[in-house]
Structure 1
């Protein structure tokens, strides 16, 4: 079963290599969480100088990861925002340099997810009750074929796409009061065929995983 694309674009080799930079990844995370911002504000948050953040913002924009937020800022001041529609990393890279960049990005994705889970565990006791009620941790261990696994993945991404479209119409502004009923909600979803790389003989000797 072929993989459907639920993102506005797939990053090409040049974009992957450019994005695989610790500061650019952190700047993208801040724009994603807090909404449009300037190079000056990001510099203050990250302990960098404005020249550095301006350069890295332009690099992110050059590859379509962020864009200028129209109608914000005065004079030459620019507000940058995450480009709507999202992105995907695509298939395995062909050349070693791009493959290394992709590995870096995937490792950072794992780091980010772990950090977000740990952050919510810390914040949950003090969070408003209405948000605690609708939060959740989920894990399921299933026995599926590759075709069934692909269908599951695509169905979940179709649901996420509907809510992403809803979310992108609610981009926060750089200042002023925010609607307290709308929060920054992070959804983690992974489909991991664990053990698929083992020999059949090794897999047959392994104990069954506990159901969850």
Structure 2
């Protein structure tokens, strides 16, 4: 049975490990495409093997990836996404010490850059195959409690219909899914 309880990324060092653009690229590649070596990742991202090795070790240190011992030989080490919680949540700023809040801000900044790039790709993906590219925009009126319930229901649906790579049924594809919501009357 999978442990799908929310996992809080409230350890500043762990959050900092994910607040680095190269590490995010590498982790996303491992999530989408499966195992890779530091050499493979270096070629993909135009980085030196020493650089990718360092970032892979940081991701390993905080439990986001793991080495595949049976595929690794000599100096060639193969890496994969570590099994773990699929519902990782960020702390609110007040849950972090003041000196750690810039790490959360950087995490959000990098994520927003990634989201903008994905948003720019959406029209082409929709033109190519609208059955595999869906979008929704909406405006709803909710209480804070209803909004909390809405968010939890969204996460539950995401977990229900998402499969880890090793358990994915035939025909499954990795999908980028983004959710953000905030009050409209703060414009």
User: Could you say which TM-score interval applies, normalised by the shorter chain?
Assistant: 0.7 to 0.9
Distance change >3 Å, CA 106–CA 153, structure 1 → 2: same
Structure 1 residue aligned with 2:160: 162
Gaps of at least 5 residues in structure 2 are none
Deviations along 1:91-130, one digit per CA (max 9) or x if unpaired, are 22533332101001112112211211212323443x3x4x
Query: What number of residue pairs does the alignment pair up?
Result: 180
More moved, 77-86 vs 58-67: 77-86
Structure with the greater alpha carbon radius of gyration: 1
Structure 1 residue aligned with 2:42: 43
TM-score normalised according to structure 2 size: 0.82
Gaps of at least 5 residues in structure 1 are 172-178, 199-205, 207-212
TM-superposed CA distance for 1:9, in Å, is 5.0
Partner SS state of residue 81, structure 1: strand
8 A Cα contact 1:6 1:158, kept in partner: no
Give 4+ residue runs of structure 1 displaced > 6 Å after superposition: none
TM-superposed CA distance for 1:156, in Å, is 1.0
Q: CA RMSD of the aligned region, Å?
A: 2.4
**2:184 is the counterpart of 1:183:** no
- Counterpart-to-counterpart distance in 2, 1:146 and 1:107: 25
TM-score normalised according to structure 1 size: 0.74
Deviations along 1:137-160, one digit per CA (max 9) or x if unpaired, are 111101110011001110111111
8 A Cα contact 2:122 2:133, kept in partner: no
- Counterpart-to-counterpart distance in 2, 1:157 and 1:142: 18
